[in-house]
Amino acid sequence: MKDPNKPGGAPLKVAVAGLGTVGAGVLKVLAGNRDEIAARAGRPIVVTAVSARNRDKDRGVSLDGIAWFDDPVAMAKDADADVVVELIGGANGSAKAMVEAALDAGRGVVTANKALLAHHGSALSARAEAAGAPLAFEAAVAGGIPIVKGLKEGLAANRVERVVGILNGTCNYILTTMRETGRDFADVLADAQALGYAEADPSFDVDGVDAAHKLSILTSLAFGTRVDFANVHVEGIRHVSALDIAYADELGYRIKLLGIARRTPRGIEQRVHPCMVPKTSAIASVEGVYNAVIVEGDAVGQVAFRGRGAGEGPTASAVVADLIDVASGRAVAPPFGIAAAAQQPLTPAPMAEHVGSYYVRLSVVDKPGVFAAIATALGAEDVSMESVLQHGRAPHGPVAVVLTIHETTEGAFMRALDRIVRVDGVLDQPRAIRIEAV
């Protein structure tokens, strides 16, 4: 069995599966920073094998002298390599089979695959520990931001109370551009696709799934629980309008898609959804394709991480940092910070019991009695208004009314919305966004 944890003068031999933007970036970083990497790792790191779909594609990097495998699983089993880098993507299929094959052969694995870890992270962690092989995944969450190592190492002495993050650069770019230009979601999404910030099918990004994958990994690292993607509450940004962004600005907020993991008396909250955050908060100033993660620990207080969350350079930087840890013998701890057998099942806090404040935008007929009926609907569920915003009048015509709601439970708030929908004079479905103090 190979021992990729043992440092020494002999090169660390690496096999890379997936030669897209990030895979090619890894090869470029390893070649371009060869001397610095060898000094930090205590030995050279060399790529000995690769696997990808298209052998003839020009990737802007030389593959001379590197063995080619059409089958990544075969490469994981048979390549002359100590460590396999998995950059294929996807929760199952060849990515999962390749990682399992590499770990079973005693080879270390470095991966950027958040979907794989969100669905199978705890099982793969146990497999790696049983094989005595490292499993490293800094690049799986927030690209070049060292949040995985931050939680596992730098903040290991803390009882973490909350993790809050902008975890998807595509959504952050769209929301930033909507605010700066006043344009609506569909228009800005089309531009993001043209610029390469959004995929042709943007569902994983704009519907919050990508951020939820990453949040489930951070939750496990922060709270010592098994990875539990199934219990993440997920909402995307498709329903956020330019009008909501304008009202948020007037009220002193910015709208961000946040991933939030929080310890509560009822269990651990895991939720991804648009939030209104105060303009004065650190996370409100994180714009464009940037990511940010804020961790609150009992001893350290609040710590903020910020940087580029995707792309060739930042993600390749994180992958190579993991390879350096493997080469130097530092990647010996359990993958999620504590042994897989010690990870506790996550007790999910029911979303209906979440306590928070809310923004609500209504379209109503501007006539006497409508507002009183809305107030009655809220009062029936013990939900109280903090403020009301209405611009102009449209006698007997539709007008937008914005309410902010004092802290209440999610369940009570949703029941109040159901009552409001049935009020005569309320048009369309109310638009609600949670207000989050960050």
Does residue 33 sit within a domain? yes
The single residue of 13, 96, 152, 214 carrying the catalytic annotation is 214
Q: Are 385 and 405 in contact (CB under 8 A)?
A: yes
Counting every residue written for the chain, the total comes to 438
Does 423 reside within a domain?
yes
What local confidence, expressed as pLDDT, does residue 3 receive? 54
Whether residues 215 and 280 fall in one domain: yes
What's the number of domains the chain is made of?
Answer: 3
Do 183 and 230 lie in one domain? The reply is: yes
Q: Report the distance separating Cα 303 and Cα 300, nearest Å.
A: 7
Tokens of 122: 């705890």
What φ, ψ does residue 393 adopt, rounded to 5°? -130, 155
Do 112 and 155 lie in one domain? The reply is no
pLDDT of residue 45: 97
Same-domain pairing of 267 and 153? yes
Task: Fill in the DSSP letter of residue 348.
Answer: B
- pLDDT averaged per 10 residues in sequence order, the chain, 438 residues: 57 96 95 96 97 88 93 96 97 96 96 97 96 96 94 96 97 96 96 89 96 98 97 97 96 98 96 98 95 97 93 93 95 90 95 97 91 94 94 79 96 97 92 95
Give pLDDT, residue 8. Answer: 55
Specify whether 164 is located in the same domain as 295: yes
* Alpha carbons 290 and 137: distance in angstroms, whole number: 19
Quote the tokens at residue 64: 């001379």
Question: 82 is in which domain, residue-wise?
Answer: 12-142+313-329
CATH for 75: 3.40.50.720
Angle between helix 185-195 and 169-181 (nearest 10): 120
Q: Are residues 138 and 253 in the same domain?
A: no
Q: Is 57 a catalytic residue?
A: no
C-beta of residue 231 within 8 angstroms of C-beta of residue 266: no
Note the pTM of the prediction, 2 decimals: 0.94
User: Is residue 6 one of the residues assigned to a domain?
Assistant: no
CATH number at residue 255: 3.30.360.10
Question: Is residue 290 located within the same domain as residue 235?
Answer: yes
Residue type, 65: G
Q: Of 255, 110, 237, nearest to 170 (Cα)?
A: 237
User: Which helix (H) or strand (E) covers residue 106, if one does?
Assistant: none
pLDDT for 1:
41
What's the confidence (pLDDT) of residue 208? 98
- Looking at the structure, tell me whether residues 194 and 301 fall in a common domain: yes
